[in-house]
Structure 1
Amino acid sequence: MNQEPTSSVLEHFRQQWQQEVHARTQQKPAGGSGHTRTKSEIDQVVRSERPITKPATRHPLADQHTEDNVEPEAYGRSTATEKLERLAIRDADEDEFSKLGRDEPKTALEHYERAVEKEGQGSLGVSLSHYRRAFRLDENVDKAYKEKHFAHKWKQPKPNPSNAAPTVPSTAHHSLAEAGRDSLPRTTAELISSWADCDIPNAEPMIEGDIPPPCPIRRLPTEVLLELLRTIAIRDVSVFARLASVCKSLAFHVHSENSIWKRVALGAEFGLASQNYHFKTDIQGRPVIWKALEDDDEDERPVAPIPAQLLSEAQDYRELFHSYPRIRFTGVYISTVNYTRSGGTSVTPATWGSQVHIVTYYRYLRFFRNGTLISLLTTHEPLEVVHLLTLENLAIVRSGNTKDSANTHHFANAGYTVSTHPNAPPPSAQAILKHALRGRWRLCHDSLESIEIGSNTAVPGDLHIETEGGAGPRYMYTMHLSLKHGNTKNRLATKNNKLVWKGFWSYNTVTNDWAEFQLRNDKAFWFSRVKSYGLGY
């Protein structure tokens, strides 16, 4: 095969290519300075990049930036490049950028500020580290931080005191005068008095823009309206008190109508006339006859002696109703007792410690208007017990006991059978009520002579309770309690909702002996409203 023509063509192409490359390397580069490649270097590059059997396919402009040893300072930096080089990520757990070159905190205050900043960003580990460094440098750094960042709020100028000279400048006095705040009522009594001329507003229409429904009570004369409010207060004093939230006019009558509160405070529905200051029944609930057979006086013994100073017209009967000692009949008084005792010791060596038992039991006292009460000591919770404490349920349970006689004080140790009365509570409820005790109660009054309860002398506001004994018919329990307010600091808080222990005894009616119970774990009784009791009638 004749290869001579092909060799001559390739040699001619190689020479022409070398001349072109040599001509380009003689020219000065546009972007900067560089050294000129030799022929041997060019041949080496061409041989490594171009196969000798194919023509060149690369454009000559592609080789302008392939020169070596080009210094980067020769090319100008753009503004965007410089800004990007000055940015960096702070931490791995942060999703924002910050400038480099932020100085690390050196002083204790700087470490504390950095810790607060990191804590706000959620970096709790970094924050804790700065907190430790700050307190190592200065143990009072937190005070310095508050002084720096919050002192401007503490040091704000205060308005002039009331006894300051009139020449002392103060913007507070001017702002109050401009806003008209001096004319506003300063006490609750003044605010209520300002509602005296208010009318009962109409009801809002069912549909916006429609004619409002009629309000007949708005047209009633004041005398008729007060008589209506008095009837509501006698029926349910809580409903009467809630009328104050209806409108300003009714709120004025509820708070300031002393004649209505006098009827409530001294009445037999909720007031002092409903209280028993003498025993009206025996322990079994049978009425007590006060008059002797040879006594010709037909007047009964007073039920509710009231001091003369309470009957004054100037007395605030609303405050009297809330503050004077008074037993509530719309609920039950509950004492929750919790204490711990040690359990049995384990004989195994793997025991971590001795066992501890948490004991919880409840005492219930429900008072009735006729002078009787029900006392119950049980471990069952109030949800299971309170709706069972009625005289009807207790009578049904007692009737199911065949060994209980009319003269027996207590039957807990007697034989117990489930009652089959049609209205009898379920067997589980009867099992709870079989431990209930019947009793009687009375309040001590300052107009009465001093009363001895057990080994104590009763004072006004004390409560005397006598119940059946748990050890047999010859015993009787005597409780000495005191009516208190749950929250003495708040004048508007609920009153007469707490019974505090003052003594608890067991009395033997045969030997006339007294034995005192040690109330080491017992707590005070707290009143709890029960809706199923109604008004306690």
Structure 2
Amino acid sequence: MQSAPQEGLEEQLARFRDQWKAELQRARERRETGHSSTVLHAPVTNQPAPSVPRVKEVIEIVPVPVAQPVSAITPSTRARVPQQRTSANAPLELTPKQREAADVYHQAIALEQSGDHTGATVLYRKAFRMHDHVDYVYRTLEAQQEAIVSTSPTTHERIHPKKHVNVHAPTTAVPHRPDVHHLIEGIKGMEVSSTHARSRKTQIVSLTPIIAQWPAELEFRPEDEDEPIPIANVPDEVLLYIMHMLDVTSLERFASVSRKARVVTLDSGLWRTFVETLYIPPQVSYDEEINDLVDNYMNDYRRIYIEHPRVRLDGVYIAVCHYIRNGLSENAWVNVSHLITYNRFLRFYPDGQVLSLLANEEVSPQYIIPLLQPSLRQKGFFIGQWRLEGTTIYITSLTDPTGLTSAASRYTFEMTLELRSRPTMGRWNRLDMKAYASVKVDTGESTPVALKNDRPFWFSKVKSYG
């Protein structure tokens, strides 16, 4: 048998649920009849306060239009409720702590509806301890989700509020920045085609449909609303000037900070410098114009840098090769096999020079990489020329720079490699050996070399090569 206080608590929770359902029903009726006025009130019951804090208050939230100022909220409500945008077009943004509190509040409502009032009470208390106004946050998210469902012709399911929560809630009106707005409008109108990507069996995910859903006005906001953020006071023109001094890696790391950082780093002037510096012969054919390349990618210089084939110049390509060699044994009943390991190194220079080195496993890559320069003189070291046509790399005139042996003066070597990408590991980070041949200098006769033991080259970035 339940005690009297427990029965009183269940009656109060039941009364709260009935009031909440009635308020939601009236809100739906007003929306259906075209009533667009802003209502934000908190009817307080005359019943004694229950043991659950703030459960007795029922707040009805109707999305505030974009043009509606924050001052339209009553002073009493403004003192109790945090000032946040509640427009259906701009989803409410929460901190991780607020988001977790809203999720606990949602679980409490689910337990209450299933009849577990004790468990619901525990979760209600936990939610209000995590955030004082979790009921306001949850009702606002409910109203936004109802507006999304009612206006979307393809959505028929109720979306959980947690999946539409963004971090860093704004506390004041966002200043309008015409240059950032112009960038967003340009991105929205950009029609990106992935035909070239599909031809390489590499699917490129465009940022255009994602950024098109963002609000037109963006700003830098701190995770803690009480902390200052000096970068928000820097004009966008000065910010772009500073970013011109960054490399690609630093630029993309900055872009991952916030939405505004991502939009600003999409400026064509930033990526145009990288493209015009990189895509020159031998990275492209001598008869290929940079303007034609830009037209093929619809003037998107960042997309050119990501999608168009290029040889990586900021590191070395390494192939680790193995083969088994039979050994000799004094015992006829014992077979001896030796696993032989050797490494191939390829380093490309922007002027068309390429270094090739064949070394055994006794010499580690950590020792070879700092020494891999044109001045190196070692057995198995060759210097040649390279060029890129499409995704095929042609390496010619691989010659031993020492010239100490007769073979070094009579023969050169040629390689043909295919440039590929492994998206999970990096861009243009794999070279497949297609052909390897020795060429007689005096006659030009080419003799293929067997490739049964060779393996693909994998790219390894080297900071000192940058």
Q: TM-score, structure 2 length as denominator?
A: 0.50
Deviation (angstroms), 1:316: 3.2
Match for 2:337: what amino acid? V
- Identity over aligned pairs, percent: 28
CA contact (8 A) 2:440 2:446 kept: yes
SS in 2 for 1:273: coil
Deviation (angstroms), 1:367: 0.8
1:197 equivalent in structure 2: 217
Q: C-alpha distance in 2, partners of 1:220/1:237?
A: 21
2:273 equivalent in structure 1: 263
Q: C-alpha distance in 1, partners of 2:291/2:435?
A: 27
1:273 equivalent in structure 2: 280
Q: C-alpha distance in 2, partners of 1:224/1:239?
A: 17
Q: C-alpha distance in 1, partners of 2:346/2:399?
A: 13
RMSD value over aligned CA atoms? 3.3
Q: Superposed, which structure 2 residues align to 1:363-374 within 5 Å?
A: 363-374=344-355
Q: 1:221 aligns with which of 235, 244, 260?
A: 235
1:442 aligns with 2:387: yes
Q: Deviations over 1:127-154 (max 9, x none)?
A: xxxxxxxxxxxxxxxxxxxxxxxxxxxx
Q: C-alpha distance in 2, partners of 1:335/1:478?
A: 17
1:472 aligns with 2:399: no
Match for 2:416: what amino acid? H
Match for 2:290: what amino acid? I
SS in 2 for 1:497: strand
2:364 equivalent in structure 1: 381
Q: C-alpha distance in 2, partners of 1:513/1:274?
A: 27
1:241 aligns with 2:252: yes
1:514 aligns with 2:446: yes
Deviation (angstroms), 1:516: 0.8
Q: 2:292 aligns with which of 289, 298, 308?
A: 308
Deviation (angstroms), 1:304: 6.2
SS in 2 for 1:264: helix
Q: Deviations over 1:152-171 (max 9, x none)?
A: xxxxxxxxxxxxxxxxxxxx
Larger-gyration structure (1/2): 1
Q: 1:251 aligns with which of 218, 243, 262?
A: 262
CA contact (8 A) 1:478 1:504 kept: yes
Deviation (angstroms), 1:522: 0.3
Q: C-alpha distance in 1, partners of 2:317/2:297?
A: 33
Deviation (angstroms), 1:203: 8.9
Q: C-alpha distance in 2, partners of 1:528/1:313?
A: 28
SS in 1 for 2:244: helix
1:482 aligns with 2:418: yes
Deviation (angstroms), 1:340: 1.5
SS in 1 for 2:158: helix
Q: C-alpha distance in 2, partners of 1:328/1:312?
A: 22
Q: 1:249 to 1:182 in 2, by over 3 A?
A: closer
CA contact (8 A) 1:506 1:516 kept: yes
SS in 1 for 2:310: coil
SS in 2 for 1:175: coil
2:341 equivalent in structure 1: 360
Q: Superposed, which structure 2 residues align to 1:91-490 within 5 Å?
A: 173=156, 175-176=158-159, 179=161, 189-193=208-212, 194=214, 196-201=216-221, 212=228, 215=230, 217-232=231-246, 236-254=247-265, 256-265=266-275, 267-268=276-277, 271-273=278-280, 275-277=282-284, 302=286, 305-306=289-290, 308=292, 310-311=294-295, 314-347=298-331, 351=333, 353-379=334-360, 380-391=363-374, 393-394=375-376, 397=377, 433-444=378-389, 460-466=390-396, 467-468=398-399, 471-487=407-423
CA contact (8 A) 1:328 1:367 kept: yes
Q: 1:361 to 1:219 in 2, by over 3 A?
A: same
SS in 1 for 2:427: coil
SS in 2 for 1:365: strand
Match for 1:364: what amino acid? F
Q: C-alpha distance in 1, partners of 2:451/2:244?
A: 44
Deviation (angstroms), 1:482: 1.4
CA contact (8 A) 2:416 2:435 kept: yes
SS in 2 for 1:387: helix
* Number of residue-to-residue matches in the alignment: 265
Q: C-alpha distance in 1, partners of 2:162/2:366?
A: 54
Match for 1:440: what amino acid? Q
Q: C-alpha distance in 2, partners of 1:313/1:509?
A: 42
Q: TM-score, structure 1 length as denominator?
A: 0.44
Q: 1:273 to 1:505 in 2, by over 3 A?
A: same
CA contact (8 A) 1:475 1:509 kept: yes
Deviation (angstroms), 1:192: 3.4
Q: C-alpha distance in 2, partners of 1:521/1:468?
A: 22
